[in-house]
Amino acid sequence: MRYATRNNFVGSVVDGYQARQCILKTTAATSLQLVAQAAKTQGLKLVLFDCYRPQRAVDHFVRWVNDIEDTKTKTEYYPNLDKGVLLGDYIAEKSGHSRGYTIDLSLAQKNEQGQWQLLDMGGQFDLFDPLSNTDNPEVTAQQRANRYTLKNLMAKGNFSNYPMEWWHYTHEQDSQQTTKHYYNFPVLAY
C-alpha cells in the first residue's frame, strides 16, 4: 500500500494510513480473490497499490494539490502537467476508494532469476499524465497488451477500469449502491 509509505506523489505518509493493509468491501474482496486465481494460471500475480482510502487521505491529497509551493515530486509524478490541473480528472474531492469498492493495482511475473517483477505498463502507478490513459496510443504494443491483460483479468471479477488511469478499477457493486457513503476510518494493522 503505497500511501502508507513515502513512495507516492505527496512524498510523505498520507493521512489515515497507519498500516500497509488492503481493505475492501466483501463483494469486491471476494471478486479480487477470483482475479488473483485467474492471474496465477497465467503465471502472474496482482500487485496492490491502494484499496480502501479514508476520506482524510483524500482531503490530504486536495491540500497537497492546493499547496502550489510543494513541487518536490513533479519530475516523477506529474512532469508534463501543472499541479493545479490535477484536481478533477486525477484527484477527486470524493473518491470511490473511500467506499471500499475501488482498487489500484498492477501485474507482476517472475523474471529469469525467479524474482517477481512488475509488467511494463508504459508508465508508473500514479503518473498524472495522458500516458496513463488506459488506451493511450503512445504506449508500445507490449505495454498495451500488458494493460489489457490486467483489464481482462479484472473484468472477470466484475471490475471496470477508469480510462484515465490504467491501474484504477471499481467493482460493479459500487454502481449498484443507491446511497454513496464515504468512509473515514483509518487503515490500521490487524
Catalytic pick from 76, 112, 165, 172? Answer: 165
Distance, in Å, from the CA atom of 151 to the CA atom of 166, rounded to the nearest integer, reads 8
Assigned domain for 190 exists = no
CATH code (residue 39): 3.30.1380.10
Torsion angle, CA of 110/115/118/120, rounded to 10 degrees? -70
Query: How confident is the model at residue 61, as a pLDDT?
Result: 98
Query: Which grid coordinates belong to 81?
Result: 502537467
Distance, in Å, from the CA atom of 34 to the CA atom of 15, rounded to the nearest integer, reads 31
Assigned domain for 129 exists = yes
User: Which residues, at least 6 apart from 155, have a Cβ–Cβ distance to it below 8 Å?
Assistant: none
Assigned domain for 189 exists = no
Query: How confident is the model at residue 174, as a pLDDT?
Result: 75
Largest CA distance in the chain: 49
Would the annotation count 168 as a binding residue?
Answer: yes
The stretches in the chain having pLDDT less than 70 are 178
Assigned domain for 186 exists = no
Assigned domain for 188 exists = no
> Which of helix, strand or coil describes residue 117?
strand
Query: How confident is the model at residue 189, as a pLDDT?
Result: 87
Would the annotation count 104 as a binding residue?
Answer: yes
Query: How confident is the model at residue 173, as a pLDDT?
Result: 85
Query: How confident is the model at residue 179, as a pLDDT?
Result: 74
Give residue-wise pLDDT tens across range 85-122: 999 989 999 999 999 999 999 999 999 999 999 999 99
Assigned domain for 183 exists = no
Assigned domain for 30 exists = yes
Assigned domain for 182 exists = no
Distance, in Å, from the CA atom of 23 to the CA atom of 29, rounded to the nearest integer, reads 8
Would the annotation count 126 as a binding residue?
Answer: no
What is the domain count for the chain? 1
The 3-state secondary structure of 4-70 reads: HCCCCCCCCCCCCECCCCCCCCHHHHHHHHHHHHHHHHCCEEEEEEECCCCHHHHHHHHHHHHCCCC
Query: How confident is the model at residue 19, as a pLDDT?
Result: 97
Range of the domain at 87: 2-175
- Is 165 part of the annotated catalytic residue set? yes
Query: How confident is the model at residue 143, as a pLDDT?
Result: 99
